[in-house]
């Protein structure tokens, strides 16, 4: 099986369409989303409808849980909270129910673990090798897991209790090592590269390949401004931060 894995779409319809167009050209068997379909950008319903129509395997992100009303955005920064409340007003009842029904984590086809923030917390951030080390302890028998939330493309590798960081664009999984891999934030990258990221995991060959695609950023930014969302959300797309 070959899996396309993306995360943090954040209602960026233009980025999602470009990522899926590239995924279609690669002939993968299954697509998985690591959460945060909504938030920040202006097309939450359209992005959810695409996820549903394509049958993309998806888990819940922290913005998804707040948009569904499961939790309140009390710990969100003011800009993120404003976008979240806007999203709540825009969501259809069916799409709100869809978000509410998403799992917090998932073992996909007995091939890998998928979660959003930390394995035991949708809101936790894996920002460092120390954070990764704590999550490796929570992985039980799994040797590879994919996560999102930080919007930064990278991989953490554990061997003998030691964790290192890899920024390689393609690598093979090695026996005896364990991996925590982030495909990057498709709808709002934060690694200074504004192109939309995702990855492909070839389970049979044990290989991971990262991709970036161009998308109509100007159109997305214009819709943010027209919707009344904070202008900073449009500007940050262009810097990839």
* Token reading at 15: 């980025």
Domain that residue 176 falls in: 2-239
Per-residue HEC secondary structure of 17-44 comes to HHHHHHHHHHCCCEEEECCCCCCCCCCH
Tens of pLDDT along 54-84?
A: 999 999 999 999 999 999 999 999 999 999 9
| % residues pLDDT > 90 (the chain) | 97
Q: Is the pLDDT of residue 239 over 90?
A: no
Distance CA 86, CA 73 (A): 12
Rg (C-alpha) for the chain, rounded Å, is 17
- CATH code, 163: 3.60.21.10
How much is the pTM? 0.97
Distance CA 40, CA 85 (A): 10
Distances in whole angstroms, Cα of residue 159 to Cα of each of 14, 30, 131: 39, 29, 15
- pLDDT, average across residues 85-111: 98
Lowest average pLDDT, out of 8-12, 88-92, 221-225, 237-241, goes to: 237-241
**Tally of domains within the chain:** 1
Residue-averaged pLDDT of the chain: 97
Q: Is the pLDDT of residue 29 over 90?
A: yes
Q: Is the pLDDT of residue 87 over 90?
A: yes
- pLDDT, average across residues 168-195: 96
Query: Hey, which bits of 2-42 come out as E strands?
Result: 2-6, 30-33
Q: What is the dihedral of CA 22, 7, 32, 67, to 10 degrees?
A: -120
3-state secondary structure of 31: strand
Predicted confidence band at 201 (pLDDT cuts at 50, 70, 90)? very high
């Amino acid at each position: 099986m070959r899996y396309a894995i993306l995360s943090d779409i954040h209602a960026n319809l233009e980025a999602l369409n470009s990522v899926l167009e590239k995924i279609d050209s690669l002939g993968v068997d299954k697509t998985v989303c690591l959460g945060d379909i909504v938030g920040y950008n202006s097309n939450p319903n359209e992005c959810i409808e695409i996820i549903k129509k394509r049958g993309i395997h998806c888990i819940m992100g922290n913005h998804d849980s707040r948009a569904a009303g499961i939790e309140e955005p009390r710990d969100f920064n003011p800009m993120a909270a404003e976008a979240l409340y806007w999203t709540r007003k825009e969501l259809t009842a069916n799409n709100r129910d869809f978000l509410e029904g998403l799992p917090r984590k998932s073992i996909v086809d007995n091939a890998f673990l998928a979660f959003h923030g930390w394995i035991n917390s949708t809101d936790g951030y894996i920002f460092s090798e120390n954070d990764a080390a704590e999550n490796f302890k929570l992985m039980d028998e799994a040797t590879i897991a994919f996560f999102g939330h930080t919007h930064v493309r990278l991989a953490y590798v554990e061997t003998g209790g030691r964790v290192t960081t890899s920024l390689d664009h393609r690598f093979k999984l090695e026996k005896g090592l364990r991996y925590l891999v982030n495909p990057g934030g498709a709808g709002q990258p934060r690694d200074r590269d504004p192109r939309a990221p995702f990855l492909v995991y070839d389970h049979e060959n044990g290989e991971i390949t990262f991709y970036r695609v161009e998308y109509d950023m100007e159109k997305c930014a214009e819709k943010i401004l027209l919707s009344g969302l904070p202008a900073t959300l449009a500007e940050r797309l262009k810097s990839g931060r």
